[in-house]
Structure 1
Amino acid sequence: MEKIRIDKWLWAARFFKTRALAAEELTRGRVQVGPLDAKPSREVHIGDTITLLQGQVRRIVVVKGLSAQRGSATIAAQLFEETADSLAQRAKMAEQKRLSPEPAAAITHGRPTKRDRRDLDKGWGERWSASVD
């Protein structure tokens, strides 16, 4: 096997759970082969460099093998090799995420009590809407 559709390869390499998800990401322009955006029918060859966006993480991989079947994770890991820059950037993002403060810690009070709600309602007076008349 010398070539395979990129949507099939992304599915077989376990980057996406289904081929439909892989095809959707391709049509949205979140996957590039070399410097160009790829369509789902684009053929992948061994040695191609693929850049893909998974959530917030950008991954750059080099195709090492081709497969049309989805296998185990150990087999899928043999189909590609992630570049050193990509691994370093993913580690840096993980460290930033680990060190960033918890968003819920910024909440000082939480849900208002019944008394707090009554106090909030007193401020409206006769107005029934938040719009300014």
Structure 2
Amino acid sequence: MTSSPAAEDGVVRADVWLWAARMYKTRSIARQAIDGGKVDLNGHAVKPARSVRAGDVFELTRGNERIEVRVLAVSERRGPAPDAALLYVETERSIARRQAEVALRRQHAGAPRPPGRPDKQDRRLLQRLKKSIRD
């Protein structure tokens, strides 16, 4: 398998790099995330065909987490996870933000929950409460 001239020059498409770095499971999911505005490159909105070089900074949203990574190397091939981890490094600010979010989720994990579904009496109380709020 031969590599493309773009990869030899140290330039690769944004959607391909996100897939190769294992940020998203498939290239089409990476493309959808880019089109959906969930990925920024160097602080600006990005298109799937945008060229990525070493030193660029991606800020992407996956689920509830926002991750900021600096590109260390480019690759068009998706390899094993240990090899993909060598393509980027997560910034200190991103690590601190994710740890703060985890601590906040743990803090709220003990919030009281109702014991089960509301029965007929509880439903009527809820309906009255909602009606009084609307009026």
Which category of TM-score, normalised to the shorter sequence, fits these structures? 0.7 to 0.9
What's the C-alpha RMSD, in Å, of the aligned pairs? 2.0
2:44 corresponds to 1:36: yes
- Tell me the equivalent position of 2:131: none
> 1:111: Cα distance to partner?
3.5
Following TM superposition, where does structure 1 have runs of at least 4 consecutive aligned residues deviating by more than 3 angstroms? none
2:106 corresponds to 1:106: no
- Tell me the equivalent position of 2:89: 81
Q: Whose radius of gyration is greater, 1 or 2?
A: 1
Aligned identity (percent) is 37
- Tell me the equivalent position of 1:25: 33
What does 1:119-130 correspond to in 2, within 5 Å? Answer: none
How many residue pairs get aligned? The number is 116
> 1:102: Cα distance to partner?
4.6
> 1:93: Cα distance to partner?
0.6
Aligned-partner residue type, residue 35 of structure 1: G
Q: Which has the higher helix share?
A: 2
Distance 2:15 2:73 in 1: 15
> 1:101: Cα distance to partner?
3.0
Distance 2:23 2:97 in 1: 18
**TM, length-normalised to structure 1:** 0.79
